[in-house]
Structure 1
């Protein structure tokens, strides 16, 4: 679960820290207090783009840190497969530092890319934005919801279809490329043979270019090398060390303590003699061979010309040679290969059709189960005479997910046929439908933390009470963090936080604080009463909180 949130120098926030609990965490506050900044900071830490304009004025950088507690063994293993190991306290720390020129994300101190960050955090938290219900207007999202619900049953089949689809596309592209007429084929064969002969005649060897470059450098700098060796030979051939050795040997008869000096001088004199002979031998070998130099130069030119045409290195050129040999073989057996490719494509398409049909059949079975549960949930959310179904259509082509196109259908009035959601549901109804969907998905979803950002928009009254109970149900199996403006939902809080905006020392600052029981009641009264909070409003707030607690204690199911 999301255990701790720390935000510093972001927008109106100077410094804010929150410790969330299990169950239902509610965030409330006046309009404009900065509720969106709190959820925005979480989004930023999870990989969303962060504008440098979000850095608090007068600060060099902004910082967001999320601390997740991971105690579930299955979740730990999933993270370990991504090379993420919780620390000794089962914590994973995700941070993002936002600077004017760039942003840096880290997981347990290790810098990560945005793509890797999203992959990892996708196992830990899911955010449902206040306008997410509008995605229900796009029926492409409906199939995603269905597959998400049935992922445990359909995952293997979907993976097999994706692999078969890739094979199908590759064969299709290959067949489409086999459209040469006889004249084009013969022309390409001649060109292939020319290129193959050109590379083969060169008889290239791996590492040859480096060897030729070394010989070329030696020839090109022969005079400089000879001059340098002559200077070295003169230096090591000087008799200074020999004179020193003779002098020390004369003195040795008077002082045995300098014997080690004599021995060292002897070793140095012997070493210099050997070195002088080795330099002389190398100088004798350093004869400039003009013909050999031209041969090396021409060989290097040939190698570099082939590299310019066929690859950056000799290895690339040799790889290109194998590809051209393969292409020539294809061209020489062009008609046979085309027939074989056509046959393979038909067989693959037949298998893909069968697999897609099996997936479609399974999806319809899962859809019947899903829509029944959503319909039950909608009835509990004050859709009294609702019918909810899913309509399937077969696409005219295959995809990596089969050939299905699916759309949710709904009827909210008796006697009316089911129709697409976008033609029937209002914004407030879509919000409730999305909540019903999320409630059902929560039964199979193993993501531990769910954030709802004002998903209760457009509802009130009895419906709001039912929504609060739905969130309570989800919070039994997930940590739920919910921003709301409705007292019915806020009353269900296991933990309640107030987001407040105030002016301190001439600067506007957003803060967040946990509320105790009395403060929760006062905040509920504010949500109920608006500008004027009377004792009657406070009493109403107390009764609302007590009722919510009795419902939770009784474990009422919705």
Structure 2
């Protein structure tokens, strides 16, 4: 759920911090007070399209930040966070978006900078914003198949998983067959190219880690003079008259005499003696090194040439020798396939035919599962519409089977159709135009799908426009029903909806120091009566209006308790 929303320098809002609760939160206020501006801010927070026009006049940037709590470790936001390398700890996620006055956006998720595309993907798992005229998921016929699959996940998802496993193999084989069946000229060019590449790599006779070994040898050769001088100086310091070993030998003789007189010096004498012989061995090794050290300028040239050859191959075939050898192994297999093209085409056609038979079986199983759940969904939608006084409306989940046309989600095309008047033909849901009817249809669908979509919060922005009377009451009850499964934030002009709220926020606009400022505050029970009265009658609130408001609140409380 959305727990906290902070807005700074956004449109007419200078600074605003709002806390939200579970259940149904209704936002009301005078026209132009800034209700929709708050929803616009939330929309931008979850990846909506931004503009410099949102930045408050005279300010450098607008800032929007939201804190969300995830109610389950299986929430899809966890998977999205893992996909994009974002840590989600303690079930909390913070979204932030800054919009500068030049229109550029900076987006962060839990403090990590992200693109707007990533913000949008994560935001889509947290909030579903629905306005009367927006093209939401339920109005997009391409998404209907996903909604049905979510609804019947218990049976559909296992069947879909089986189908997609076979489809992946089928698609991979089909792609290989298509590539192999291209025109002869393209294949001949490809074969000539990879044969040349393979021969070039093979003729180089590369060895793993060869470049690293050569680079180390080159470093030593480039520093040969320094190495030789250092070893020679070290040997000279140890060996020769009045050099290191002579002096240590003298120390050893003196300590031997002392140890003969006093045994306490025997251990010290032995230590010096051991050091003498160790240094003597080191001097012999240094002497041997001086004998074998020889600078070979030709070897240095050979190394340079070999490294140049290896680097040229790296530029063409891979960043490391291992990558180059792996590439050679791949094209060796491709060469064999192209040289024996007809044999491989025959094998692939047999594989494809086998996969196709399997796909037909899995697609049929998937179709049966969808058809079964489509009936269940249709029945529930009719029940929901009946409760919204649309009992004569006909809803249908149309499933068209494409037979041998296999797609990633099966061979079905699914679209929701509806007829709102008796005698009228069924039409696609996306073609429904009446505002009042659309509001009720959307609420009926939301009532069902909100349980299956896993979205943390749902925002209804004036979806109750164009309705009144008993329909308005039915919509209020339906919105409250949706709020049982998801946090719902609702901007409404209907007193019936406001009465059903668990939290009622009042949005107020006032002029201070010549500037417009918007504020939001939760209403007390008494303030709630006054605001609902204003929504009923307008500016003047009479005793009768107040009684009507109290009656609405009492009815709402009774309905919530009864449900």
Contact residue 62 and residue 97 of structure 1 kept, 8 A: yes
- Secondary structure at 2:94 match in 1: strand
Return closer, same or farther for 1:97/1:434 CA change in 2, 3 Å cut-off: closer
Deviation at 1:183, TM superposition (A): 7.9
Contact residue 77 and residue 125 of structure 2 kept, 8 A: no
Which residue matches 1:31?
31
Measure, in 2, the Cα distance between the counterparts of 1:502 and 1:443: 40
Equivalent positions of 1:55-70 (< 5 A) are 56=56, 57-58=58-59, 62-68=63-69, 70=71
Measure, in 1, the Cα distance between the counterparts of 2:464 and 2:541: 23
Measure, in 1, the Cα distance between the counterparts of 2:131 and 2:271: 83
Which residue matches 1:22?
22
- Secondary structure at 1:499 match in 2: strand
1:432 corresponds to which of 437, 440, 443: 440
Which residue matches 1:316?
323
2:385 corresponds to which of 378, 383, 390: 378
Deviation at 1:169, TM superposition (A): 1.8
Deviation at 1:497, TM superposition (A): 0.6
Aligned Cα root-mean-square deviation (Å): 4.2
So what's the TM-score if we normalise by structure 1? 0.82
Contact residue 25 and residue 496 of structure 1 kept, 8 A: yes
Gaps of at least 5 residues in structure 1 are 254-261
1:97-156: CA deviations, max 9, x gaps?
A: 52647635243x677776776666655544334434666554223333322322232112
Return closer, same or farther for 1:353/1:80 CA change in 2, 3 Å cut-off: closer
Equivalent positions of 1:300-449 (< 5 A) are 300-395=307-402, 397-423=405-431, 425-449=433-457
Measure, in 2, the Cα distance between the counterparts of 1:117 and 1:232: 65
Gaps of at least 5 residues in structure 2 are 259-268
Which residue matches 1:217?
219
Count matched residues: 547
Which residue matches 2:209?
207
Return closer, same or farther for 1:508/1:240 CA change in 2, 3 Å cut-off: farther
Deviation at 1:338, TM superposition (A): 0.5
Which residue matches 2:491?
483
Return closer, same or farther for 1:176/1:385 CA change in 2, 3 Å cut-off: same
**Which piece of structure 1 moves more, 44-53 or 405-414?**
44-53
Return closer, same or farther for 1:552/1:329 CA change in 2, 3 Å cut-off: same
Which residue matches 1:152?
154
Contact residue 29 and residue 508 of structure 2 kept, 8 A: yes
Measure, in 2, the Cα distance between the counterparts of 1:233 and 1:47: 72
- Secondary structure at 2:369 match in 1: helix
- Secondary structure at 2:405 match in 1: strand
Measure, in 1, the Cα distance between the counterparts of 2:45 and 2:278: 66
So what's the TM-score if we normalise by structure 2? 0.82
Deviation at 1:175, TM superposition (A): 0.9
Measure, in 2, the Cα distance between the counterparts of 1:206 and 1:351: 44
Which residue matches 1:198?
200
- Secondary structure at 1:287 match in 2: coil
Measure, in 2, the Cα distance between the counterparts of 1:76 and 1:94: 15
1:105 aligns with 2:108: yes
Return closer, same or farther for 1:228/1:79 CA change in 2, 3 Å cut-off: same
1:173 aligns with 2:172: no
Which residue matches 1:500?
508
Measure, in 1, the Cα distance between the counterparts of 2:127 and 2:191: 57
Return closer, same or farther for 1:204/1:76 CA change in 2, 3 Å cut-off: closer
Contact residue 390 and residue 406 of structure 1 kept, 8 A: yes
1:291 aligns with 2:301: no
Measure, in 1, the Cα distance between the counterparts of 2:270 and 2:540: 105
Deviation at 1:405, TM superposition (A): 1.5
Return closer, same or farther for 1:341/1:73 CA change in 2, 3 Å cut-off: closer
Which residue matches 2:266?
none
